[in-house]
Amino acid sequence: MKLTGAQALIKSLEMEGTEVMFGLPGGAILPVYDPLIDSSIRHILVRHEQGAGHMAEGYAQATGRPGVAMVTSGPAATNIVTPLCNAYMDSIPLVVVTGQVPYAAIGSDAFQECDTTGITMPVTKHNWLITDAEDIPRVVREAFHVATTGRPGPVLIDVPKDISNQEMSWYWPDSVDMPGYKPTVRGHPKMVKDAAKLITQARRPVIYAGGGILKARAAEALRELAELTGIPVVTTLMARGAFPDDHPLCLGMPGMHGNYTAVTSMQQSDLLIALGSRFDDRVTGKVGAFAPEAKIIHVDVDPAELGKVRRADVPIVGDCRQVIEEMVKAVRSEQTKHPKPDLTEWHDLLNEWKRDFPLHYDQQEGGPVKPQYCVEMLRDHTPDDTIVVAGVGQHQMWTSQLWKFNSPYTFINSGGLGTMGFAVPAAIGAKVGKPERMVWAVDGDGCFQMTAQEIVTASAERIPVKIAILNNAYLGMVRQWQELFYEERYSEVYLSPDLPDYVKWAEAMGGVGMRVDTPEDVVPTIEKANEIDDRPVVVDFRVDYQEKVYPMVPAGGSNDSIILDPAHDRRGGR
Ligand SMILES: Cc1ncc(C[n+]2csc(CCOP(=O)(O)OP(=O)(O)O)c2C)c(N)n1
């Protein structure tokens, strides 16, 4: 069968099971948009290419399937660089197709030409410039394979316009043959045995669960390991929901804005079992002072992570789910030889900390609306399986601290890159992937203004996402740092609560806009928003601008110097 390169590209995407793609056409990608009319693939027309990338990421995070986006050359390709980098940092499987100027014009500074594969090389797992239409099915097959196997990540296929128009003979490759790419999935048996020995000897062990647990679909295996050993679990920002918050062994989130118990348990542990986590600086604080007495078992599918930040006593390369399952077997066998260690003292200490140092805020009756109160009321007045998507800043931290994530894939946020503007499009993508679930974005007023135009996309496509803006009139997280570390010298952080008028803006974009000024209005407004199911809703929560996120470990400081909310610090002289 003879097809054009463009037809072959769309057919290849169909063969890979693509149901939906996010994008925006233009000159160089025009040939590929034509066969899309006859395709089973749903295309969602975005208002900015950054939106397409983040929607594809939200879709991938919610469904576990790769997100697909397609844009044209030059400025469209550069507009999607931020989502590519975001996906690279957060290991999100993404396949991005870009149009390119005709092959012979490459390098001539043609109209809307940019070196897309050059620009995106450092932020993709792999990218391809197609030079022959015959290569298209093979490359698409390889692209999906690379994006979804090993450590997942973004890939890009750059297609020159003349190659899209070139004729080729259709085929579909039976398999992928990439000799240089063979991710290790099984853990080394000796290492797994060594890990099991350390686990059965430790007295203050902690499981440090990272986003890799979710990527490897290893939440059940993690639970089995924790319950078998009685070892408490911290879940990083990227792993919230990988272990249920209501489980007695759950310590919650560690890191710069982690809770006291999670942070201090790691500091004082004698064994850290790092599973799909990468010793990010936001978790370790000052690396030299991090968990000084802990031995380290480090499991990661990406060998480059092992020893990158902290030397592991037992490094294991492999897929988290497989390795944890192997570890469970090895621990069971160890437990038949040696008595299970008594962790009672450790659990008692952790429970003492949980009791003495809880997260805290005060919502006064009639007083200014506290952002934490909005998050808690959203948590308590939405279905348990609600998907929550956060932007970047204070609101993100309050959401990750206060929401109770009891099942995996219910929290989506930008952890590694910290991309303001992520929430609105990612929430749209999540809702497209999981239309039966309620999706709430919790966003900042600063973040919202970066990609709010995608609400137009949501209205046009009838994607009923809900967006809570915690409107503190500031770039709040930056304001917090200026208050604490720059002697309250506020430089370029004031935004104004009223400019823009968020209610009018939401309505102009085809959504419903609501505003909350008092604590009494919080719950009734959430309930009203929950009932709207045919268009996007934006709720402008006017919140106390002075609220700060605590606990906090100052950047680069030791986790031992964790600052609790001064109003509630009951440590006395400690
Ligand atoms: C694209 C981008 N630019 C700048 C930053 C730096 N930054 C991190 S948080 C933040 C403030 C966010 O303000 P807002 O969205 O209002 O949220 P808040 O912290 O007030 O909850 C800024 C500017 C960033 N993370 N991303």
Query: How many A from CA of 457 to the centre of ligand 1?
Result: 23
In this model, does residue 104 exceed pLDDT 80?
Answer: yes
Q: What sign for the dihedral angle of Cα 388, 82, 275, 393?
A: negative
Average pLDDT over residues 495-514: 98
Using one digit for the tens of pLDDT, what is the confidence trace for 155-170?
999 999 999 999 999 9
Mean pLDDT (whole number) for 400-416: 98
Q: How far apart are CA 563 and CA 540, in angstroms?
A: 30
Q: Does position 222 have pLDDT exceeding 70, yes or no?
A: yes
Q: Is the pLDDT of residue 251 over 70?
A: yes
pLDDT at res. 131: 98
Rg (CA), the chain: 24
The atom of ligand 1 lying closest to the CA of 477 is 19
Q: Which residues contact 28 (CB under 8 A, 6 or more apart)?
A: 72, 73, 74, 98, 99, 100, 101, 112, 160, 161
Name which of 201, 200, 220, 205 is nearest 320 in CA terms: 220
pLDDT band at 574 (very low <50, low <70, confident <90, very high): very low
Residue 484: CB atoms within 10 A of its CB come to: 13
Res 569: pLDDT: 76
Residue 119, Cβ density class (10 Å: 0-12 exposed, 13-18 middle, ≥19 buried): middle
> How far does residue 268's CA lie from ligand 1's centre (Å)?
32
Instruction: Map residue 144 onto helix, strand or coil.
Output: helix
Closest residue by Cα to atom 13, ligand 1, is 475
Nearest CA to ligand 1 atom 17: 444
- Tell me the per-residue pLDDT of 531-561, one tens digit each, with 9 for 90 and over: 999 999 999 999 999 999 999 999 999 999 9
How much distance in Å is there from the Cα of 103 to the middle of ligand 1?
40
142-154 per-position pLDDT tens digit: 999 999 999 999 9
| Angstrom distance (rounded) from CA 186 to CA 316 | 9
How many CA atoms are closer than 13 Å to the CA of 262, on its beta-carbon side?
Answer: 28
Reported as a single tens digit per residue, the pLDDT across 282-337 is: 999 999 999 999 999 999 999 999 999 999 999 999 999 999 999 999 999 999 99
| Active-site residue, from 161, 215, 370, 466 | 161
Looking at the CA of residue 449, tell me the nearest atom of ligand 1: 15
Does residue 541 carry a catalytic annotation? no
The pLDDT of residue 572 is 53
Closest ligand 1 atom, CA of 495? 16
- Closest atom of ligand 1 to CA, residue 391: 15
User: Of the residues 82, 86, 257, 420, which should be mutated to test ligand 1's pocket, given the most ligand atoms within 8 Å of the CB?
Assistant: 420
DSSP state of 289: G
Among 49, 142, 305, 547, the active-site one is: 49
Out of 228-242, 269-283, 330-344, which region has the weakest mean confidence (pLDDT)? 330-344
Going edge to edge, which strands form the sheet with 154-160?
42-45, 20-24, 67-71, 94-100, 154-160, 126-129
Confidence of residue 338 (pLDDT cuts 50, 70, 90): confident
Ligand 1 centroid–CA 151 distance in Å is 28
Which atom of ligand 1 lies closest to the CA of 443? 15
**Contact at 8 Å (CB) between 53 and 453?**
no
For range 66-71, the mean pLDDT: 99
**CB under 6 Å to ligand 1: residues?**
391-395, 418-420, 444-447, 470, 472, 474-478
The closest residue, in CA terms, to atom 5 on ligand 1 is 420
- pTM for the predicted model, two decimal places: 0.98
Sheet arrangement for strand 233-235 = 250-252, 233-235, 205-209, 271-275, 295-300, 314-317
Q: Identify the pLDDT of residue 568.
A: 75
At 445-478, the pLDDT tens digits run 999 999 999 999 999 999 999 999 999 999 999 9
Annotated catalytic residue: which of 477, 509, 514, 552?
477
Which residue's CA is the closest to the ligand 1 atom numbered 24? 420
In this predicted structure, the answer to whether residue 114 has a pLDDT above a threshold of 90 is yes
Q: Which protein residue has the closest C-alpha to ligand 1 atom 1?
A: 420
Predicted local confidence at residue 497, as pLDDT: 96
| Ligand 1 atom closest to residue 421's alpha carbon, by position in its atom list | 1
Half-sphere exposure of 10 (CA within 13 A, CB side): 21
Instruction: Say whether 477 is catalytic.
Output: yes
Q: What is the DSSP string of 166-195?
A: SEEE----SS---TT-----SPPHHHHHHH
Which pLDDT value is given to residue 70? 99
339 has a pLDDT exceeding 60: yes
Reply yes or no on whether the pLDDT at 571 is more than 80: no
Q: What angle do CA 39, 42, 48 make, to 5 degrees?
A: 120
Ligand 1 midpoint to CA 467 (Å): 17
Q: Whose alpha carbon is nearest atom 11 of ligand 1?
A: 475
pLDDT in tens, 16-64: 999 999 999 999 999 999 999 999 999 999 999 999 999 999 999 999 9
Other beta carbons within 10 angstroms of residue 368's beta carbon come to 18
Nearest Cα residue to 295 out of 192, 206, 212, 211: 206
Q: What is the pLDDT of residue 119?
A: 98
> What amino acid occupies position 279?
F
In eight-state DSSP terms, residue 566 is G
Across 210-222, b (16+ Cβ under 10 Å) vs e yields: bbbbbbbebbebb
Q: Active site includes 295? A: no
> Who contacts 334 (Cβ-Cβ below 8 Å, separation ≥6)?
196, 197, 199, 200
Q: What is the average pLDDT score of the chain?
A: 97
Residue 224 annotated in active site: no
Mean pLDDT of 335-352: 94
- Judge residue 111's burial from the number of C-beta atoms within 10 Å of its C-beta, 0-12 exposed, 13-18 middle, 19 or more buried: exposed
Pinpoint the alpha helices (H) of 230-370: 260-268, 281-284, 320-337, 344-356
Answer yes or no: 112 catalytic.
yes
Choice from 369, 477, 491, 544 to test ligand 1 binding pocket (greatest atom count within 8 A of CB): 477
Provide the percentage of residues in the chain whose pLDDT is more than 70. Answer: 99
